[in-house]
């Protein structure tokens, strides 16, 4: 019998949630069969069997989250199997005794009734006054209702013995649960069907997804622990836009994919990083006497997918042509929206670009994506009045802001990096002509 | 329908089955000339003669064994063991022979044996004559154990037991012999292994068998009147096979259960019922399953102590109230507390 444990599927993974079991107790399992889909902090991944056998039991149900190393299933590989679970009830003999309804169920340790020697009936086990592992002490019925109606028991005060939440305590909540949103002349968009928990604000509770929680935790960590500083530059993008128009005209005639401004900026950033490798670096923490400078330039591209922010990584961005980058970035974004990015596709980044230009944002600042040392926030490329010589003319301009980890990147370095980047954007042929 | 006592229903059913099937015969201590310690067999020796109504020596192992042999060869013996306490002397015959022959010998011989025997205390018969040890037999695969609580069920279950091809321990109860009730005139046997919902309700499931099923029904009806409680009562009727489905379905509806038993609590039938409910209706329980049983002492002889040791109506009421309070019902206490 083998215990299958929650695997560590990424370096940042601490716990995983069971998304879907592909095998069920009694199913034959061959090496390489997909046993289960596991949702990690970054992606949902297939987990394959390393041993053949018969799936004996599932210990963690779908939707449940456990820490790495927690047994999630047992696989019977025919070796040192424990004593066969109680001989199956003999073929109906004289009296075909009904086999226990739960011959296989796990024994439940009930609080032993106090010895009732010479005391009367109604053995009352002392009411436990502890709380459950989740801090909530509720009757099984209440737990089932909470699951079915998506109730948050931590907000319910138990009136049962020892503070146990009992069915009667849910009366208010349950009557609210199916109630529709308050009547209004013009019905408002209601995001979830949950109850209104705050009438004044008409607030509803919406479950924070695992992915969202990971985003939240990592961003807090980054914003709170990394001393960010921000350097903004503006580049004249007139030539870049003209070149792009020209390239796309060529591409259209050859039925090739179009190139976006962002593709050019990815490429330009990669080239700027090659020139300033100290920006392509990671601080390892105060305890470490070294920092890492990365020799490969792997650029993460922030994508607002349906399930939240994801950052697919384009590996060796400095070695790829603009056209290649464009194709790859587009494919990754499409895949991200289908929630199909693998862990591999989201790891190993050395620098991130976040572009809100398509929303018309002029400029903004971004939070560093650890363990990277910097992130570039790119605004929209728009026509502005610019003084050229003595004339005011309309030209394309783009603003971008570098957020840098001041522990390893100083202001001057950030400024030099931006100057290089500005230079590339203002002399766009260097972006496409540079050796890839 | 005819109103009869439990005793009379048993007597009439035995007689009717003897008239219906000449293979049915009776064996036991003092069942013939003396007409039975509890007069169940009154008049039967005179009517059917010594071939069909056998007075035996005081030797339970011997006459139970003889009955098993007769059953294996095609007769349908109905053995009376004067009280269930004395069945201990026949334990080996019942457990190691009656229950196992069919299976051990590949079905070559059936054992259509009925052992009628009353249990129960409350008659000042002392510790060795006041026990409820049907549990010992309900524990054994190969046995069937039935326990009627009303005259009608006594008839229906005795018909079923006599006509069943397996050994059946038929549990009577000293305190029920004089209870009266409507008894159907037709001879439709009960289905062994089926519990009966004797009162439908939604507030709580009250479970018992034999005397405690009788008490359960009475308490439920009293509380319906005095407290407006809507209690569902289940009479197990059969301890093996056990009708788990009826128990589980009831608790799924009521979300709470109290189990009554006349014997000791520890390792008792109530424990099996509670486990069944926990297995089958865990997600429906709003309070722990509570059990009411007798005190964990050998039954005292003193009337006062005997009454104190046995579970009473008040004990049942208290257990019901505790359980209902645990699910949020606010009730005023009635009866005496024994806690």
Residues 102-131 of chain B with CB under 8 A from chain A are: 102-103, 110-111
Confirm or reject contact between B285 and chain A (CB < 8 A).
yes
Compare CB distances from B286 to A89, A94, A139 and report the shortest one's residue: A139
Q: Which residue of B has its CA nearest to A97?
A: B241
CB of A214 closer than 8 Å to CB of A206: no
**Domain boundary residue among A51, A76, A101?**
A76
CB-CB under 8 Å, A95 with B166:
yes
B-chain residues near A149 (CB < 8 A): none
Q: What is the pLDDT of residue B306?
A: 95
A296 interface with B at CB cutoff 8 Å? no
| CB pair distance less than 8 Å for B103 and A96 | no
Say what the pLDDT of residue B247 is. Answer: 98
Output the pLDDT for position A191. 54
In chain A, residues 167-196 whose CB comes closer than 8 Å to chain B: 167-169
Q: Are B295 and A121 inside 8 Å of each other by CB? A: yes
Tell me the pLDDT band of A436, cut-offs 50, 70 and 90. Answer: low
Q: Classify residue B142 by its DSSP letter.
A: T
Q: Which position has the higher pLDDT, B332 or B259?
A: B259
pLDDT above 90 coverage of chain A, percent: 36
CA dihedral B196, B200, B204, B208 (to 10 degrees): -30
Cβ of A115 within 8 Å of Cβ of B296? The answer is: yes
Select which of B30, B61, B129, B255 is catalytic: B129
CA pair distance B219, B260, nearest whole angstrom: 12
pLDDT of residue A3: 87
Catalytic residue among B60, B172, B227, B272: B60
Q: What percent of chain A is predicted at pLDDT more than 70? A: 81
Least CB–CB distance from A140: residue in B241, B248, B283: B283
Residue limits of CATH 3.40.50.920 in chain B: 196-326
Residue of A nearest to B312 (CA): A121
Q: Which of B102, B285, B290 sits opposite A140 (nearest CB)?
A: B285
Q: What is the ipTM of this complex?
A: 0.75
- Tell me whether residue A297 is in a domain: yes
Chain B closest CA to A334's CA: distance in Å?
A: 43
pLDDT reported for residue A147 = 85
- Comparing alpha-carbon positions, the chain B residue that sits nearest to A162 is B326
Q: Which residue has the higher pLDDT, A209 or A391?
A: A391
Please answer yes or no on whether B248 and A168 come within 8 Å at the CB atom. Answer: no
Closest by Cβ to B141, choosing from A93, A110, A166? A93
Instruction: Pick the more confident residue, A116 or B97.
Output: B97
Estimate the crossing angle of helix A411-426 against helix A238-253, to 10 degrees.
50
The residue segments making up the domain with residue A268 are 227-433
* A231 to A249, A267, A365, B251: CA distances (angstroms): 35, 20, 9, 68
Say if B318 is an interface residue toward chain A (CB within 8 Å).
yes
> Residue A156: its pLDDT value, please?
85
Does A90 reside within a domain?
Answer: no
For residue A210, the model assigns a pLDDT of 75
Q: For residue B336, give both structure tokens.
A: 């005496």
- Is A304 part of any domain? yes
Q: Is A101 on the interface with B (CB under 8 A)?
A: yes
Instruction: Give the strand pairing for A299-301 and A313-314.
Output: antiparallel
Asked if B258 contacts B241 with a C-beta cutoff of 8 angstroms, the reply is no
Contact A422, A273 (CB under 8 A): no
pLDDT mean over B304-327: 94
Whole-number pLDDT of residue A189:
53
Closest to B147 in 3D by CA, of B156, B137, B136, B157:
B157
**What is the value of pTM for the model shown?**
0.53
Query: Tokens 């005819």 appear where?
Result: B2
Which chain B residues have a beta carbon less than 8 Å from that of A159?
Answer: 328
Minimal C-alpha gap between B117 and chain A (Å):
19
Using pLDDT thresholds of 50, 70 and 90, give the confidence band for residue B301.
very high
The distance from CA A18 to its chain's CA centroid, rounded to whole angstroms, is: 14
Q: Which of A30, A51, A76 is the last residue of a domain?
A: A76
pLDDT of residue A186: 47
For residue range A248-295, what is the model confidence (pLDDT) as tens digits? 888 888 888 888 999 999 999 999 999 999 999 999 988 888 999 999
- The total number of residues written for chain B in this structure: 339
Calpha distance A201→A117 (Å, rounded): 59
Could you tell me the strand order of the sheet in which A71-76 lies?
A2-5, A71-76, A53-58, A28-29
For every residue of A36-82, DSSP letters joined together read EEEE-SS-EEEEE-SS-EEEEEE-S-TT-EEETT-EEEEEE-SSSPP
Please list the active-site residues of A.
Answer: 406
Chain B residues closer than 8 Å to A100 by CB: 244, 276, 279
Q: Given a cut of 80, is residue A307 above it in pLDDT? A: no
Q: What is the CATH number of the domain that holds A18?
A: 2.40.50.100
Q: What is the pLDDT of residues A82-128, one digit of tens each?
A: 444 444 444 444 444 344 444 333 344 434 444 334 445 444 554 44
Mean pLDDT of A41-60: 85
CA dist list (Å): A366 to A17, A203, A308, A318: 29, 29, 16, 22
- Cβ of B100 and A93 within 8 Å? yes
Q: For residue B339, what pLDDT is reported? A: 43
Identify the closest residue of chain A to B192 by CA–CA distance. Answer: A95
pLDDT at A80: 63
Task: Identify the sign of the CA torsion B214, B220, B222, B225.
Answer: negative
pLDDT of residue A152: 83
Residue B282 burial (CB count, 10 A): 18
> Which is the CATH superfamily of the domain at B2-183?
Thiamin diphosphate (ThDP)-binding fold, Pyr/PP domains (3.40.50.970)
pLDDT band at A347 (very low <50, low <70, confident <90, very high): confident
What sections of A199-312 are H helices per DSSP?
A: 210-225, 238-253, 261-275
| B 178-207 → A contacts, CB under 8 A | 193
Average pLDDT, chain A: 81
* pLDDT for the residue A182: 43
Given a cut of 60, is residue B183 above it in pLDDT?
yes
Partners of B72 on chain A (C-beta within 8 Å) are none
List, in order, residues 6 or more apart from A85 with CB less than 8 Å away.
Answer: A103, A104
Contacts of A113 in chain B (CB under 8 A): 265-266
Burial class (CB in 10 A: 0-12, 13-18, 19+), A361: middle
Please spell the DSSP secondary structure of B104-129, one letter per residue: HTTTS-----EEEEEE---SS--GGG
Pick the most confident of A141-145, A187-191, A202-206. A141-145
- Beta-ladder partners of A396: A383
Which of B192, B288, B336 to substitute to test the interface with A, most A CBs within 10 Å?
Answer: B288
Residues of B in contact with A95 (CB under 8 A): 99, 141-144, 166-167, 240-241
**Res. A190: pLDDT tops 60:** no
Nearest residue of A to residue B291 by CA position?
Answer: A122
Nearest CA to B300 out of B312, B309, B292 is that of B309
Name residues 55-94 of chain A within 8 A of B (Cβ).
89-91, 93-94
**Shortest distance, CA B1 to any CA of chain A (angstroms):** 32
Domain with CATH 3.40.50.970 in chain B: 2-183
How far apart are the C-alpha atoms of B334 and A166, rounded to whole Å?
24
| Nearest-angstrom CA–CA distance, B129 and B142 | 26
Q: Taking CA atoms, what residue in A is nearest to B284?
A: A141
pLDDT of residue A11: 67
The residue with greater pLDDT, A435 or B234, is B234
Task: Please give the residue that has the higher pLDDT: either A251 or A233.
Answer: A233
Using CA atoms, how far residue A2 sits from A21, A35, A80, A160, in Å, is: 17, 14, 9, 41
Query: Does domain B196-326 match CATH 3.40.470.10?
Result: no
Q: Check if B143 contacts A (Cβ < 8 Å).
A: yes
Within-domain flag for A425 = yes
**CATH number for the domain including A427?**
3.30.559.10
Task: Work out the mean pLDDT of chain B and round it to a whole number.
Answer: 95
Domain final residue, candidates A41, A76, A111: A76
Look at A342 and B305; give whichever has higher pLDDT.
B305
Contacts of A124 in chain B (CB under 8 A): 290, 322, 339
The pLDDT of residue A177 is above 70: no
Distance from the A115 Cα atom to the nearest Cα atom in chain B, whole angstroms:
9
Kindly determine whether residue A95 and residue B144, on different chains, have CB atoms separated by under 8 Å: yes
Number of domains in chain A: 2
| Under 8 Å between Cβ of B190 and B159 | yes
Q: In what order do the strands lie in the sheet with A313-314?
A: A228-236, A391-405, A374-388, A351-355, A299-301, A313-314
- CB contact under 8 Å between A166 and B287, yes or no, is yes
B319 contacts A90? CB cut-off 8 A:
no
Residue B323 token pair: 């359980």
Phi, then psi, of B282 in degrees rounded to 5: -55, -45
Question: What Å distances lie between residue A164 and A111, A122, B38, CA to CA?
Answer: 15, 20, 50
**B279 pLDDT higher than 60:** yes
| Residue A44 domain-assigned (yes or no) | yes
What residues of chain B lie within 8 A of the CB of A94, using their CB? 99, 101-103, 110-111, 142-144, 165-167
Pairwise CB contact (< 8 Å): A167 & B280:
no
B319 Cβ under 8 Å from any chain A Cβ: yes
CB pairs under 8 A between A and B: 138
């Amino acid at each position: 019998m083998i215990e299958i444990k929650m695997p560590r599927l990424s370096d940042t993974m601490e716990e995983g949630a069971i998304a879907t079991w592909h095998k069920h107790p009694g199913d034959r399992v061959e090496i390489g069969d997909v046993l289960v889909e596991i949702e990690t902090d970054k992606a949902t991944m297939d987990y394959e069997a390393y041993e053949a056998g018969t799936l004996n039991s599932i210990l963690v149900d779908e939707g449940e989250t456990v820490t790495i190393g927690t047994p999630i299933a047992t696989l019977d590989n025919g070796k040192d199997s424990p004593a066969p679970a109680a001989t199956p009830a003999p073929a109906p003999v004289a009296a075909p005794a009904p086999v226990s309804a739960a011959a296989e169920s796990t024994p439940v340790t009930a609080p032993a009734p106090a010895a009732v020697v010479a005391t009367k009936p109604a053995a009352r086990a002392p009411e436990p006054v502890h709380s459950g592992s989740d801090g909530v002490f509720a009757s099984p019925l209440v737990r089932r209702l909470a699951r079915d109606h998506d109730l948050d028991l931590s907000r319910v005060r138990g009136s049962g013995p020892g503070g146990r939440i009992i069915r009667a305590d849910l009366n208010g909540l349950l009557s609210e649960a199916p109630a529709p949103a308050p009547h209004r002349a013009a019905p408002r968009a209601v995001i979830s069907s949950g109850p209104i928990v705050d009438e004044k604000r008409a607030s509803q509770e919406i479950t924070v997804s695992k992915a969202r929680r990971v985003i939240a935790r990592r961003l807090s960590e980054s914003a709170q622990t990394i001393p960010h500083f921000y350097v903004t530059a503006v580049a004249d993008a007139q030539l870049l836009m003209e070149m792009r128009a020209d390239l796309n005209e060529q591409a259209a005639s050859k039925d090739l994919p179009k190139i976006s401004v962002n593709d050019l900026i990815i490429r330009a950033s990669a080239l700027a990083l090659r020139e300033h490798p100290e920006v392509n670096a990671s601080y390892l923490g105060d305890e470490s006497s070294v920092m890492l400078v990365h020799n490969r330039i792997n650029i993460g591209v922030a994508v607002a997918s349906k399930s939240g922010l994801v950052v697919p990584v384009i590996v060796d961005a400095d070695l790829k042509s603009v056209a290649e980058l464009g194709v790859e970035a587009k494919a990754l974004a499409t895949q991200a929206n289908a929630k199909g990015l693998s862990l591999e596709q989201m790891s190993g980044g050395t620098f991130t670009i976040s572009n809100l230009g398509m929303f018309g944002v002029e400029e903004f600042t971004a939070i560093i994506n650890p363990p990277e040392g910097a992130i570039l926030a790119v605004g929209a490329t728009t026509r502005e009045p610019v003084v050229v010589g003595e004339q005011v003319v309309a030209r394309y301009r783009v603003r971008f802001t570098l957020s840098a980890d001041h522990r390893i990147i100083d202001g001057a370095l950030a400024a030099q990096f931006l100057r290089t980047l500005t230079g590339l954007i203002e002399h766009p042929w260097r972006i496409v002509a540079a050796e890839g | 329908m005819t109103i009869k006592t439990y005793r009379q229903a048993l007597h009439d059913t035995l007689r009717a089955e003897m008239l219906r099937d000449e293979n049915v015969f009776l064996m036991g201590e003092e069942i013939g000339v003396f007409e039975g310690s509890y007069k169940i067999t009154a008049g039967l020796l005179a009517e059917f003669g010594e071939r069909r109504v056998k007075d035996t020596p005081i030797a339970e192992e011997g006459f139970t064994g003889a009955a098993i042999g007769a059953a294996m060869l095609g007769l349908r013996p109905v053995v009376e063991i004067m009280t269930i306490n004395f069945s201990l002397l026949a334990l080996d015959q019942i457990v190691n022979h009656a229950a196992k022959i069919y299976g051990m010998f590949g079905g070559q011989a059936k054992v259509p044996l009925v052992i009628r025997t009353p249990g129960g205390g409350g008659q000042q018969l002392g510790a060795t004559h006041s026990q409820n040890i049907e549990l010992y037999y309900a524990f054994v695969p190969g046995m069937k154990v039935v326990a009627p609580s009303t005259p009608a069920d006594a008839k229906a279950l005795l018909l079923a037991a006599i006509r069943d091809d397996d050994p059946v321990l038929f549990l009577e109860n000293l305190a029920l012999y004089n209870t009266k009730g409507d008894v159907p005139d037709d001879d439709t046997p009960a289905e062994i292994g089926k519990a009966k919902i004797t009162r439908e309700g939604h507030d709580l499931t009250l479970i018992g068998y034999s005397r405690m099923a009788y008490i359960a029904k009475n308490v439920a009806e009293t509380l319906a009147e005095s407290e407006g409680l809507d209690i569902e009562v289940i009479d197990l009727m059969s301890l093996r096979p056990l009708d788990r489905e009826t128990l589980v379905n009831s608790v799924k509806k009521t979300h709470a259960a109290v189990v009554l038993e006349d014997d000791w609590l520890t390792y008792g039938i109530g424990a099996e019922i509670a486990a069944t409910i926990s297995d089958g209706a865990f997600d429906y329980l709003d309070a722990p399953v509570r059990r009411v049983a007798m005190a964990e002492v050998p039954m005292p002889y003193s009337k006062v102590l005997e009454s104190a040791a046995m579970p009473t109506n008040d004990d049942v009421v208290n257990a019901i109230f505790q359980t209902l309070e645990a699910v949020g019902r606010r009730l005023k206490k009635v009866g005496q507390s024994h806690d």
